[in-house]
Structure 1
Amino acid sequence: MAGGGGSSSAADATAVVAPSLPQGAAYAVVVGVGFVIALIMIGITKILKRTVGEDNRKTEMFMTANRTINTGLTSSAVISSWLWSTAMLGSTLVGYNFGVAGPFWFAAGCSPMIVFFSVLGIACKLRVPQAHTLLEIIRIRYGTVGHIVWIVLCLINNIIAVANMLLGASAAISAVSGMHVIAATFLLPIGVILYTFVGGIKATFLTDYFHTFVITIIICFFTIKAFVTDEIASPRISTNSS
């Protein structure tokens, strides 16, 4: 009996969950939707060039959008930047393991960085209004040696961040559809590269706004779905049972 129970437990531990979506659906979303969003953003960039005169061939427009990004686009960009795959998967994991307190403390650990960086951004804007990047400010404040050190640190940080985002999203897509992780890793950035290359930073801000809108709808849907699911003993079930 004990041996049979042990083998059953081992089989359950090594069981593979079948993907819920076909690979074709994953390729359609990764490639098709990615290209559609890229084409939309490229089209918006062309329209803005004709109507408002925003020429992305100029360095100032490509890198800073002529410093015309308003509060709405900026706030949506901050939200979209923090809703990367690693953060969403990590918060979901701690929520699954520890309940509502998990995502709360996960967000509590990330929030101070956003608050402090907003203060830093305001100070930099007031003191160095013509700067384009953080590295320019570092060079002015700390000289060439500090500038080189920060270039290396920023490069390492960006490599790690991009790797986390791509691998996290690719792993999630692979788990849901069975799509190969390497294929997802190489196909996911194509659409982003296209609209960023054509539209510059303004296109990324517009895309962030769209991402935030879509993600908000998805989060609201899954939040309501979680509370009305029988398996987690929702308040509706508890009320009916009492």
Structure 2
Amino acid sequence: MGASISRLANKTAIVTGGTSGIGRQIVETFCAEGARVVFTGRDLDRGRAVTDKTGAIFVNADAAALDDPARVVTAAADALGTIDILVNNAGTHGPPLGIENFSIAPFDDGIAVHLRSPWQFMSLCVPLMRKSGGGSIVNISSIAGHRVCVSSLPYAISKAAVLHLTRYAATELGKDKIRVNSISPGLIAMTKKGQQPADAMFGLDLVMKVISRQALRQAGRVIDVAQMALYLASDESAFVTGSDFVIDGGTLWGSPDPIGI
């Protein structure tokens, strides 16, 4: 057999929230497939650990901070020369809040991290992508954005907004050969360092209830999401844009009883 061809050879990427969980796995997967990657996070020690393992460039940044996206994109452009791929992964779950639990700080934080930050990063990266002839943007949403489920209201509605932001951007940027897609993970067993396992985040009873009502009776893995991000970032998905890819083991459609995370 001949030598394998790296699926992201000669590609450059920014991954936000890349120090743990899904984001860390995306950084590792992209680097393993030949991409040069700049990734962000708020934890210096975790960032250094990912850099030591992958060779990716870490920029200490907070997705909720208004000035940080411009600083990240400038650093990435200086280090990489251009940007071919953007993965908006940074996220925060926040406290469990419902309609009668209005709280401005968690609401503003959810909107800032999940909605404003992706839009801001896209607005900064698009001119660089356009200049180099196109690119791919991958936004990480959630099945919580697809239907009402047991979650924090600011988290759920901001993740729902990501789905429409993705469609809007895909429609506007198609003429520039920039593809924009989203991924909606379900219950993912977070195995990367620095991320709580699902049962610690949501409680074992809820986790087991979700799994029992999925079509596939198991929790997902971070690599499951990273492999989809890899496909969307690569030229293999050259005719795919404006789409959302649900990675949930059949949670949305596996049971007639609405249940989510």
Indicate the TM-score class for this superposition, using the shorter chain for normalisation.
under 0.3
Q: Which has the higher contact order (CA 8 A, sep 6+)?
A: 1
TM-score calculated relative to the size of structure 2: 0.26
Structure having the larger proportion of residues in helix = 1
- Structure number, greater radius of gyration: 1
TM-score calculated relative to the size of structure 1: 0.27
Structure having the larger proportion of residues in strand = 2
